[in-house]
Amino acid sequence: MARNNPTFSCTACGSSFNKWSGRCDGCGEWNTIQQDKGISAGPPSKSLGARRGASVTLSDLSTQEAPPPREHSGIGELDRVLGGGLVPASAILVGGDPGIGKSTLLLQAAAQFARAGVSTIYVSGEEASAQVRMRAQRLGLSDAPVRLAAETNLRDILTTLEAERPQLAIIDSIQTMWADNVESAPGSVSQVRAAAHELTSFAKRRGVSVILVGHVTKEGQIAGPRVVEHMVDTVLYFEGERGHQFRILRSVKNRFGPADEIGVFEMTGAGLAEVTNPSALFLSERGQPSPGSVVFAGIEGTRPVLVELQALVAPSPHSQALRTVVGWDSGRLAMILAVLEARCGIPFAGLDVYLNVAGGLKINEPAADLAVAAAILSAREDAALPAETVVFGEISLSGALRPATQTENRLKEAQKLGFTSAIAPAGGKAVGATGLTLNTMSDLTGFVGEIFGAG
């Protein structure tokens, strides 16, 4: 019987090796390679009615062996991002900037799950139990039957979870956990990877849902190796600007639901309140129509969202004009400016261009191209678009306009919020969008000529 060969990893960068060496080839550090050791192997698995490691045929799985239904937290926005609720035996990673509200959200979620009958343990490695209780009292959650623990030793945490067998365990945060079999400081790559691996394995082995809190680096990535994101089933990012009252919970990976789904929350004195109509929130501070202001009808996951795009075009005092973007891809802005100049004959030399997505929302879909072009042209020509008009569509390098997906859902959301007209590419499926005037364009030149009288 073949025995497993030992594996080694670098405690500084996390690189894996088949044998020990004095110097790490990944980061160049000396004496940082250690042999990997597991904390617990666990009892033989009884899943699927087979012995551990044995394979079964997919068609042999009966309905009795199907996983139990999802657990609902009672927080609709959180359940939406999770894909309809919490899947048993799932591992979830929640990342976000410091102070953005991760612990507040998860403490509220723990209270809601516990009130719904889900046995829940909240393990804090950053606060004492009394401090967590004070925060729960401030949020009005003192009566929630949530068990609290303040511990950073991974072995002690796993022992407690083995003994109590909760349905949900929240670990806040994974960077504070340390495994005594790994010779490195807490928060290092090796410690984060080892802790995430053990907790994820425990979730699968015991049928316990585990939520891990992860800090985010200056680059916007979850601190630690990217392999942590591959270990878990779902990765959620908690986003938002400190100057705005709302927060966005975004799914970037989900094995049990759609990715890129978002949930919107508003930060209040009593914690995070869910926002069921984010479009109204994003447009709540929009005043009278002004040059450079355009409403974009976008799609975030499965949800249509209306957001205001703001542009400013001004003469540049510098030899090289500035291109400043907040909430959108700067490379795509450069592409749109090039298309406007090459296909429509509108120059931007010597002009600074500023683009901002109002409210701090980050937009990734290419359907915002036409709205960005409209905002830039509106600012350049000092001509405001009609206040009750939404714009969306993708711009190709040839200047042609390509239809966006889910046109009907975008138009329905705009109509629901009182918009009366829309500008979109020709060819989009707008079935059922009655009561809203749809102005379709086939190329960017026609759009510039009809809307701004130039090109």
**Residues annotated as binding site for ATP?**
96-103
Q: What element of type H or E holds 136?
A: helix 129-138
Query: Residues 237, 238, 242, 243: is their CA dihedral positive or negative?
Result: positive
Backbone torsion region of residue 382, taken as left when φ is above 0, otherwise alpha when ψ lies between -120 and 50, otherwise beta: left
**Helices marked H in 208-328 — which ranges?**
227-231, 278-282
The burial class, CB within 10 Å (0-12 / 13-18 / 19+), for 383 is middle
Place of tokens 């630690």: 224
Our CA dihedral for 105, 209, 177, 213, rounded to 10 degrees, sits at: -30
Question: Helix, strand, coil proportions of the chain in percent (round to 5)?
Answer: 30, 25, 45
Tally DSSP H helices, then E strands, for the chain.
11, 21
Q: Strands, DSSP E only, in 344-431? A: 351-357, 389-391, 394-395, 401-402, 421-425
Nearest to 390 by CA among 424, 363, 356: 424
Place of tokens 């950053």: 126
- Token couple for 123: 């393990």
Nearest to 296 by CA among 392, 440, 158: 392
Annotated binding-site ranges: 96-103
- Residue 274 near residue 76, CB atoms below 8 Å: yes
Kindly state the DSSP code that residue 50 receives in the 8-state scheme. Answer: S
CA separation for the pair 251, 95 (Å, rounded): 10
CA separation for the pair 455, 447 (Å, rounded): 9
In Å, what is the CA distance from 14 to each residue of 92, 212, 230, 448? 21, 19, 14, 53
Three-point CA angle 33, 37, 41, nearest 5°: 160
Place of tokens 């929130």: 281
Kindly state the DSSP code that residue 6 receives in the 8-state scheme. Answer: P
CA separation for the pair 208, 158 (Å, rounded): 12
